[in-house]
Amino acid sequence: MLDIIRGWLNRYLSDHEALVLLLMLVTGFLVIIFMGNMLAPALAALVLAFLMQGVVNCLEKWRMPHILAVAIIFTIFMAVLVAFIFLLVPLIWQQVTGLLNELPSMVKQGQVILKELPEHYPAFISEAQTAAIGNTINMHLAEFGQWALSFSISKLPGAVGILVYLILVPILVFFFLKDKTELLGWIGTRLPTRRRLIIQVADEMNGQIANYIRGKAIEILIVGSVSFIAFAWLGLNYAVLLSVLVGFSVVVPYIGATVVTIPIAMIGLFQWGVGPDFMMLMVVYGIIQALDGNVLVPLLFSEAVNLHPVAIIVAVLVFGGIWGFWGIFFSIPLATLLKAVMNAWPSVHEVETET
């Protein structure tokens, strides 16, 4: 057993660069796991700055001074942030409140439909089964009411945290954009002089991560906007809330679109019943999902991430369980990073050749 372990260590950890890269990866993961909450504003600002850096680079290619390009993009960012806070957030909150108020009547309507099922489909469901399902629904509804009350009370101190985000994140975004060269130079001085492996992994990941993050942000905006236009045109209740859910559902590959279909179908069903309007809603929603998967995604993600669907789903589950929303958002880049490290990791033959 010891010989096997020693052979494995000699094969994969006999290179000094590999050890340095492994130490950097482990340190980075540990810092985010144990200090992620404290560093959350900095991480959020880093993501936003990364999204805007491409536009800054484009302006600089047009021979615009760096500070002027940063000032223009940062001003646009602040305008969008203010519009989001004072226009979109109150509208979403209003629709969430309306949906919660209407939820008891929707549950009662669903229970009426449930009680009628044994009459129409006696071979598939019995009155005892419908009664058991109804009792389960009532129990979960009561638990949800208690959770909503406790959640609203417990989250009151969180308003201070939101204010911290609103102050710190824009400041950090500005300095990340303004002092990008200085910050990267400082990090470079802390890395070892011999860093071929690190550079190889960084070069492979830089284009893919940039393409993924910016493409995913554009996909969220386009899918959410198109969904809102479609839902508003159909007259669907809570169009803003549902379109926001549809937009953010693209963050979770394969799973998000399936999960968000449930509230859309339920609200449409309670609003119109099983009829032409409901069928039109589901057809339009299906077209939006089909165009997103078959047209928009191939256009936005020019540098395809060559990962098996099973690997993507496992990455979503693992990194989402560790870091929540940001873990889900970065699940594909993180999985791609691990794959790049595995591909670039020197074997014993490469180490012997270099020595």
More confident residue, 221 or 127: 221
Render 165-208 in DSSP notation, one character per residue. HHHHHHHHHHHHHHTHHHHHHHHHHTS-S--HHHHHHHHHHHHH
Whether residue 63 is found in the same domain as residue 168: yes
More confident residue, 121 or 303: 121
Domain of 248 in residue numbering reads as 195-347
Residue at which a domain ends, from 138, 166, 190? 190
- Would you put residue 307 in left (φ > 0), alpha (ψ -120 to 50) or beta? beta
Whether residue 151 is found in the same domain as residue 256: no
Q: Model confidence at 350, in pLDDT bands (50, 70, 90)?
A: very low
Q: Check whether 166 has a pLDDT greater than 90.
A: no
Whether residue 178 is found in the same domain as residue 134: yes
Spatial CA neighbour of 208 closest among 329, 297, 306, 295: 306
Interhelix angle 40-61/158-178, nearest 10 degrees: 30
Number of structural domains, the chain? 2
Q: Check whether 196 has a pLDDT greater than 50.
A: yes
pTM of the model: 0.72
Percentages helix, strand, coil for the chain (3-state, rounded to 5) are 85, 0, 15
Q: Does 10 fall in a domain?
A: no
More confident residue, 204 or 352: 204
Q: Give the tokens for residue 228.
A: 């809102």
Whether residue 312 is found in the same domain as residue 334: yes
Q: Does 28 fall in a domain?
A: no
Beta carbons within 10 angstroms of residue 48's beta carbon: 20
Q: What is the pLDDT of residues 49-81, one digit of tens each?
A: 887 888 898 898 888 899 999 999 999 999 998
Whole-angstrom distance, CA of residue 53 vs CA of residue 176: 9
| Residue 232, pLDDT score | 93
Average pLDDT over residues 169-188: 87
Q: Does 102 fall in a domain?
A: yes
| Residue 101, pLDDT score | 80
Q: Model confidence at 6, in pLDDT bands (50, 70, 90)?
A: low
Q: Give the tokens for residue 282.
A: 């589901």
Whether residue 157 is found in the same domain as residue 177: yes
Q: Does 301 fall in a domain?
A: yes
Whether residue 269 is found in the same domain as residue 130: no
Whether residue 69 is found in the same domain as residue 200: no
Whether residue 245 is found in the same domain as residue 340: yes
